Amino acid sequence: MKKFFYVSLFCLLPALASAQGKGAKPDTTNMREVTIGSIEVIPSAGNVKGMLLLDRDIQYELEGAVDNMYNFKYERAEKQFKSLRRRYPEHPLPYFLLGLSQWWKIVPTNIQTTKYDDLFFAYMDTAIVKAERLYDKDEKNVEAAFFLAAANGFTGRLHSERSNWRKATVASKRALEYMEIAKAGNGLSPEFLFGEALFNYYSIWIHENYPFLRPVLVFFPDGDKRLGLKQLRYVANNGFYTGTESKYFLMKIYANEENNMEEAMKLSRELATKYPDNAYFQRFYARMLFVQGHFTLAERESLDILSKLDQKMPGYEAISGRYASYILAYVNQNKYRDFEKAKAYYQNTIMFAEMTGERESGYFINSYLNLARIAKQEKDLVTAKRYYTIVLNNTEKKSANFKEARAFLKANKKIK
């Protein structure tokens, strides 16, 4: 059950728009399908007058605030969001943005921290209440449906991360229902298209990677993986509120699912350059540089990450420290052959992994493995045995790391 919610909510609901699904469907008899390039959208529906989501003046006003939020200048961003709230106290947009700001305080910790939860839920709940009032007045208000889908989607996502399954179920069901209604606004703005894009991609991805969920997917509309990617690219290039969120998802999809490292690198570089103080984007970029062998650039980014962590900059916490320390350890071990620095950075990696409770992570195990190799190379067999013993006790028996550790320990039984 937990895996189902983790996959479905993580992939389908955690953005400014959430996945479409089975639920109340609007009357689409007067709609016709059109194409913008290769992106299918639906023409505008309902009355667009007064929609803040589409207001160009509001977007111009908030551009700096949105950029500040993604660059982790939370106070500056929230000051502008609160100014918008004073002028539009009955609209869900400012409350949703304030909630989104809390969300991006949680993201760099891999959703582990709970200290922002109460404020996040409060803002999202308020956005839902404001959107419900607008929707009750006009059930063709796709902007209200958009915020109901988005706020419920984020709420469901965090509840699932916290194992609050009943609340996650209720929120996600509501998000799916309103997402289908909000779909009628696809032709109004790229913002409305984002949820459908995620659904089109991930519904197929889940079908391919989680066979046990296929019976559940029977109740969902058919997806289209290739179309989903095209739609995400379209939103990434044209969306105001959802543009960065689309790039965030595309970056992860290209790196982790599509094995398109060229596009993943391009997006990670773009995001890290535009938002240099976003810890998540910077560490993702550093990792992309590292795995593709750009060690000099990876070293530069990693040193910058550790410097920002020392300065206690927002978002730069143990997880970013673990990434950066491991990269620097590896570079010093294999490029500069500076074993003293390498050992120090590997020890830092272990410390950061322990701080976040990730003793089973590859960074933790490989740090001990490389410390063992360095000790072996330095003829310090006692230390090497100690490190290899840790590797042996924390890896699967069929793994190469286990076999290496077992071979060393077997050959050095007499070492005390």
- What's the pLDDT at 179? 82
371 within a domain of the structure (yes/no):
yes
- What's the pLDDT at 26? 30
Same domain, 281 and 177: no
Same domain, 212 and 330: no
- What's the pLDDT at 50? 75
262 within a domain of the structure (yes/no):
no
As given in the structure block, the two tokens for residue 137 are 């007045």
Domain boundary among 231, 256, 281: 256
Closest CA to 135 of 103, 169, 188, 174: 174
170 within a domain of the structure (yes/no):
yes
Same domain, 306 and 213: no
- Residue 300 domain boundaries: 272-354
Collect the ranges in the chain with pLDDT lower than 70: 1-49, 203-222
**pTM given for the model:** 0.85
- What's the pLDDT at 298? 98
395 within a domain of the structure (yes/no):
yes
Number of domains in the chain: 3
Same domain, 101 and 81: yes
179 within a domain of the structure (yes/no):
yes
Same domain, 294 and 192: no
Domain boundary among 335, 354, 373: 354
119 within a domain of the structure (yes/no):
yes
Same domain, 245 and 326: no
Same domain, 331 and 380: no
Same domain, 343 and 415: no
- What's the pLDDT at 88? 97
- What's the pLDDT at 81? 98
Q: What is the DSSP letter of 74?
A: H
- Through-space distance between the first and last CA atoms of the chain, rounded to whole angstroms: 47
267 within a domain of the structure (yes/no):
no
Same domain, 333 and 376: no
64 within a domain of the structure (yes/no):
yes
Closest CA to 207 of 195, 194, 180, 225: 225
Same domain, 181 and 222: yes
- What's the pLDDT at 160? 86
Same domain, 231 and 336: no
What b/e sequence results for 200-234 when a residue is b if at least 16 CB atoms lie within 10 Å of its CB, and e otherwise?
bbbbbbbbeeeeeeeeebeebeebbbebbbbbbbb
Domain boundary among 195, 226, 256: 256
Same domain, 72 and 135: yes
The answer to whether 37 and 234 have CB atoms below 8 angstroms apart is: yes
